[in-house]
Each structure stands twice: as C-alpha cells, then as structure tokens.
Amino acid sequence: MSIIAFIGLGHMGSPMVQNLIKHGHQLYVYDLDNHAMQHLTKHGAIAAKSPADAATHADVLYTMLQTDEQVKAVCLGANGMFQHAKANALYIDSSSIDIDASREMHRQALSAHIRMVDAPVSGGVAGAQAASLTVMVGGNQENFDAAKPFLECVGKKVIHAGAAACGQAAKICNNMILGISMIAVAEGFALAKKLELDPQKFFEISSQASGQCWSMTHYCPEPNLVANVPSDNDYQPGFTAEMMLKDLRLSQEAARNAHAATPLGAAATNLYALFANLGHGQLDFSGIIKMIKGIEI
C-alpha cells in the first residue's frame, strides 16, 4: 500500500483514482473543481487543500491534467508539489502534453530529486473506468519499474517506450497515424458510396486487404459495419474530435521543434480544425466522415 497524491479529477482522473483505491492505495486528491473532490471522498479518497498539501503526505505524485501550463503550475514553484514532496518521491505524469514541456518536467524533477516517468494513456474514458488503458511510459528503467505497479492499477498494457518523454512521443506519433488513417478510411467510404459500391462490400474487401487499418476494422466511421462503435450511435464519443485535434496539434508542435516534415499530419490537423470550427468538436473523432461526405452536417 502506498500513499498517492493525485491531481486532476476529470473524466479520466476520477476513475483512475477509484481504480488505485481498489488496489488498496491511499489517495490524497486535489482539483479546482470541488465537486469532483467531494465525489471521490465517498470512495475513500482524502480531499487535500492544495497540490502541495497532498504532496506532503505522499510517496507517489500523480497528475492527470489538460495542459503543460497546468502541470507546471501544480508541480513547480514555491507552492508546487516538487517543493513539498518527500525526498526521492516518484512522480507519474499521465497528462498528454508537449514533448518539450515533458522534457522540461523531467529536468525539473531531476534537479528536485524526484524520480519521474511520463505515462500518457490511450483508451479513453471507457478504458479509464475499466482499468484497461494502454500506458506508454518514458523514463529510465529504474523509474519505470517503480511506476509499473501503480500503472497496472489503471491500465492493462503498460509499455516502456524509452527515456524521458518517450511515452509522450509514442502517444503522439501513434495518434497522428490514427488521425490520418481515420480520415483516409472516411474518404475511402465516402468515395466508395459515390461510386455506387456498397459499404458492406467495400468493408469486406478492404478490411482483409492492404487498406486495412485499426480505424476501419475496430472503429469504422461508416455506420453498421463494426459493433459498438460511435458511428452506430450518431457519433457520440468515445474520443472527441477536440481531443484528437489536441493530440494532432501536439504532433505538429513536436514536428515543428524537431524539424520533421509531416505533410499528411498537418493536413489532418487542419481538417479536424475545420471540423471543430464548424461546431462539431464534441462529436466523436470518427464523425469527421460527415464533413467528408458533406451531408446535413
């Protein structure tokens, strides 16, 4: 049993906390949203007065936040967790943030004598609830080994991607491919339909041929072809277009800083930006097929 300071109690963080509690850990939690905190106290968590307050009690610091600014505000400075943490505390950051920001956090942790891993997840709210997330972890072997038992409370696959920030890198490279291939599949079905090719027939053929993608066979944007996916439920998320757009923007930020060319990544980012700007950011990301088809959007 460990004592964990967990900051960030949104749609993802809240079920993650509950899963950590189920494994017997003691959780000090904090969020600007008081309701979220109160809700978790019913499950046995202790509401902290601040991130620093939470940190003073904990062996493990855990953040699940939206932006790198939030991560920095929670961890750094006089009121940050790093200042108030026990010597040699372990810090796990499951927020999806920019590569450079994550590297900076690793540097800050090192100089504060905090052991850190970045550990962004995929699998969405459903995965967080079912403790079936995939966790991509960046940090040295020793820190990975230390973090693994905690990550296995929230996820099913816990993978050591490499050194500092490699968890973030793995996630955004994967999600860039995902965002592009989702639009590719959407374009394929939209074109098939205009060519009077039955979607069911096209699915049968392409899902077993060289066009096969996870986006097609596990999350098909064309309705009525794959069971239990958002396209069968009027594109209720799932993983929203806004969240995909956030990850694509992180990929483009990383590409910019690393001087990489990602022409289709850039195009996909902007197609999701157009889709979001049209007011559909809260639809599932597979809903972009509506914009590609152009029907009654």
Q: Which of residues 171-210 bind a second copy (CB under 8 A)?
A: 172-178, 180-181, 183-185, 187-192, 194-198, 201-202, 204-206, 208-210
CB of 102 to a second copy, least distance (A): 10
The footprint of a second copy on residues 233-292 (CB under 8 A) is 249, 251-256, 258-271, 273-274, 276-279, 291-292
Name the minimum Å distance from CB 141 to a second copy.
Answer: 13
The residue (of 11 and 201) whose beta carbon lies closer to a second copy is 201
Q: Which contacts of 146-153 are long-range, i.e. CB under 8 A and separated by 24 or more positions?
A: 146/90, 146/115, 147/90, 147/92, 147/117, 147/119, 150/2, 150/4, 150/20, 150/25, 150/60, 150/62, 150/90, 150/92, 151/92, 151/119, 153/19, 153/20, 153/22, 153/23, 153/25
Among 34-42, 57-65, 142-150, 164-172, which window interacts with a second copy (CB under 8 A)? 164-172
Nearest approach in angstroms of CB 192 to a second copy is 5
Choosing from 48, 85, 169, 229, the residue that interacts with a second copy (CB under 8 A) is 169
Q: Is 227 in the site for a second copy (CB under 8 A)?
A: no
Active site residue 171: yes
Contact between 159 and a second copy (CB under 8 A)? yes
- C-beta of 201: minimal distance to a second copy in Å? 6
Please say which residue, 86 or 103, places its beta carbon nearer to a second copy: 103
From the candidates 49, 86, 171, 201, which is the catalytic residue?
A: 171
What is the size of the binding site for a second copy (CB under 8 A)?
86
Residue 240, C-beta contacts closer than 8 angstroms, at least 6 positions apart: 281, 282, 283, 284, 285
CA angle 55, 12, 151 (to 5 degrees): 60
Catalytic residues: 171
